[in-house]
Structure 1
Amino acid sequence: MIKLCVFDFDSTLMDGETITFFAKKMGAGEEVAKITKQAMAGELDFFESFTKRVAFLKGMKESDAIEIANNLPFIKGAKEIIEYLKNKGIKVVVFSGGYHIATDAAKEKLGYDASFANYLHIKDGVATGFAGGEMMFGYSKGKVLKELKALMGLKKEEVMTVGDGANDISMFKEAGLKIAFCANEVLKKEADFCVDTKDLKELMKYV
């Protein structure tokens, strides 16, 4: 009986990578997309890639970041799968190696219960090229999920996780049901099920 479902955000609930959308605004979309691809494939340390990518955002107006975050595209079936899980009494939480500015906006639209992510450092209305928060390291998702399970009094088999990249491996290890969604090979190896159709309603088969 699943009681908690944890979703990754970028390329799992949201169609793309938040950092790439931001970087495009700064004319650095291709460079950031390349670093992100390497990080999600497990070829780069997540923290190192995180600091490299956010540096490209230096000088971005906070108002531009808010506008982009409020208009991010979602994966087909995102709202439906969250409604389905919540109707079953399952708490739905998002863990993102990206930013609260995006996950908080998406929470209003998709209706999940909470999110854990990072914060862009903004000074005088402008991004400084630095960020910090709960999800900066490769092990962060696993560490936070372990604490969340303890807080909620949940056993491993009562938790499911859904993700696509290398930084989701640590949370997969804390869950009883692990679903790789349109994922990198490095994560598929850790999954119970792999969904390669880009429609989150496919997850209903497993819950």
Structure 2
Amino acid sequence: MSTPQATRPLDDQPTLLVKIFGKDRPGITAGLFETLAAYGVDVIDIEQVVTRGRITLCVLVTQPQGPEHEGALRATVHSWAEPFGLEAEIISGRGDNRPRGRGRSHVTVLGQPLLAADATSRIASAIAGAGGNIDRIFRLAKYPVTAVEFDVSGVDTATLRPELALEAARSGVDVAVVGAGLQRRAQRLVVMDVDSTLIQDEVIELFAGHADCEAQVAEVTARAMRGELDFAQSLHARVELLKGLDASVVDKVRAQVRLTPGARTLVRTLKRLGFQVGVVSGGFTQVTDGLREELNLDFAAANTLEVVDGRLTGRVVGEMVDRAGKARLLRRFAEQAGVPLSQTVAIGDGANDLDMLNAAGLGVAFNAKPVVREAAHTSVNVPFLDTVLYLLGISREEVEAAGLLD
């Protein structure tokens, strides 16, 4: 088998940048290339975007042989564009696009419902201040949030992420910074917390409602928030209040559980793209097992309420799922899935999720407490769980086209 000849480097060759802009209509791209083809030029680069019905089409081509041919090409392009009401600009130069700088990242910015120009300016300035260059910008979603992605080069992801996190907090937008590369769309693992993340509810509170002990459970929770009890102590104290409940209450609680808006869309889309999805919860397997079946999850782990003779005993059995346990389970799921930790995503809202969020390749604080937002890689502060898809470079149009919206 023959090896194709390498083309001559374009670094110092004369080139032409052909720019077309005006009202979009079918056939513009085909017509321009038909016009250029008559002059035997080669295409080096193409960029086209349509915004509110206006097209901007840029084509970088080799210069035709002979100055008279370049002049004829210019005249022909202008003559072709005029009947369509298009404007044409042709710029002489040398070589291809400059090489992108080392250190490449995708920066996703979320605004609800729109993205303020001031916030966009601040993020762009912060990128420049960190030594980065914005090579490309495009929109991932326009509803119910606005999501745009900046392709950035010239600065390491690890350097850029904390800089933009500070600016995001000041500007009131959500910003995620992930490294560019083939692994972004590689088969990955996403692990979520359950209470107030995958679902809108706190499961222990749903059980407490059936035991008429909501106030006592709330008091134990408050003590834990004040640091008077650790997670294990607070869990045991709250579960003890459920002692004697008939086991049939599990079905009633399952029926009360409400998925977070966008949760089903998130899971469906990830599964369609080959991701593996799991949940870890400080709640109870009596609920997470049902969620695993309903959403076709790959992994699920939680504490288990002990049932004896058809009643809750007020105790939990099995492996404790606490703050350290969630991080441990993330690692276990990753090993079972054959996915390195660098290609995992963890999503949670509470302090007991922090170890898991920090262990993952990308930790997302979802409508989280301030301490969690500050420690996580990025945060999402809109009530739609499927916005996490945009952080992974998956656009709403892709989800709609696949019929995966819930």
TM over 0.5: yes
Amino-acid identity (%) = 34
Q: Distance in 1 between matches of 2:274 and 2:247?
A: 36
3-state SS of the aligned residue for 2:332? helix
- Distance change (3 Å), C-alpha of 1:42 and 1:191: farther
Contact 1:163 1:180 in 2 (8 A): yes
Kindly state the Cα deviation for residue 6 of structure 1 after the two structures are TM-superposed: 0.2
TM value normalised by structure 2: 0.48
* 1:158 pairs with 2:343: yes
- 1:78 equivalent in alignment to 2:279: no
1:26 matches 2:216: no
* CA distance in 1: counterparts of 2:256 and 2:285, whole angstroms: 14
- The 3 A distance-change label for structure 1 pair 29 and 60 is same
Measure the CA separation in 1 of the matches of 2:285 and 2:267. 19
Match of 1:146 in 2: 331
Is the contact made by 1:96 and 1:135 (CA closer than 8 Å) also made in structure 2?
no
Which of 1 and 2 has higher RCO (CA within 8 Å, sep 6+)?
Answer: 1
Amino acid at match of 1:113: D
Higher strand residue share: 2
C-alpha displacement of 1:206:
0.4
Q: How far apart in 2 are the matches of 1:37 and 1:77?
A: 29
Equivalent residues of 1:119, 1:132 under 8 A apart: yes
The CA distance in 2 between the partners of 1:156 and 1:121, in whole Å, is 33
Rounded to whole Å, the distance in 1 between the matches of 2:191 and 2:304 is 19
Instruction: Indicate the residue corresponding to 1:98 in structure 2.
Output: 283
Structure 2 stretches of 5 or more lacking a match?
Answer: 1-183, 393-406
Q: Which moved more, 1:29-38 or 1:186-195?
A: 29-38
Which range moved further: 65-74 or 55-64?
65-74
Structure 1's 42 and 136: CA in aligned 2 closer, same or farther, altered over 3 A? farther
Q: Does residue 130 of structure 1 match 2:318?
A: no
Q: Where does residue 181 of structure 1 map in the other structure? A: 366
For the structure 1 residues 120 and 190, does the alpha-carbon distance in structure 2 shift closer, same or farther, using more than 3 Å as the test?
A: same
Asked whether the equivalents of residues 116 and 134 of structure 1 are also in contact (C-alpha less than 8 Å), the reply is: no
Amino acid at match of 1:30: A
Code of the residue aligned with 1:82 in structure 2: it is: V
Judge conservation of contact 1:76–1:200 (CA < 8 Å) in 2.
Answer: yes
1:61 to 246, 265, 271: 246
Whether the aligned pair in 1 keeps the contact of 2:299 and 2:333 (CA below 8 Å) is no
Root-mean-square deviation (CA, aligned residues, Å) is: 1.8
2-11 or 68-77, which deviates more:
68-77
Please, which moves more after superposition, 146-155 or 91-100?
Answer: 146-155
Identify if the C-alpha distance between structure 1 residues 37 and 92 changes in structure 2 by more than 3 Å, giving closer, same or farther. Answer: farther
Q: Which residue of 1 aligns with 2:292?
A: 107
CA distance in 1 between counterparts of 2:336 and 2:292 reads 21
CA contact (8 A) 1:95 1:141 kept: yes
Extract unaligned runs of 5+ from structure 1.
none
CA-to-aligned-CA distance 1:172-206 (integer Å, 9 cap, x gap): 12201110111112211221221111111211110
Q: 1 CA distance for matches of 2:337 and 2:217?
A: 37
Structure 1 or 2: larger helix share? 1
Mark the CA change 1:184 to 1:173 in structure 2 (over 3 Å): closer, same or farther: same
Q: CA deviation at 1:36?
A: 3.5
8 Å contact kept, 2:220–2:234 = yes
Which structure has the larger Rg over C-alpha atoms?
Answer: 2
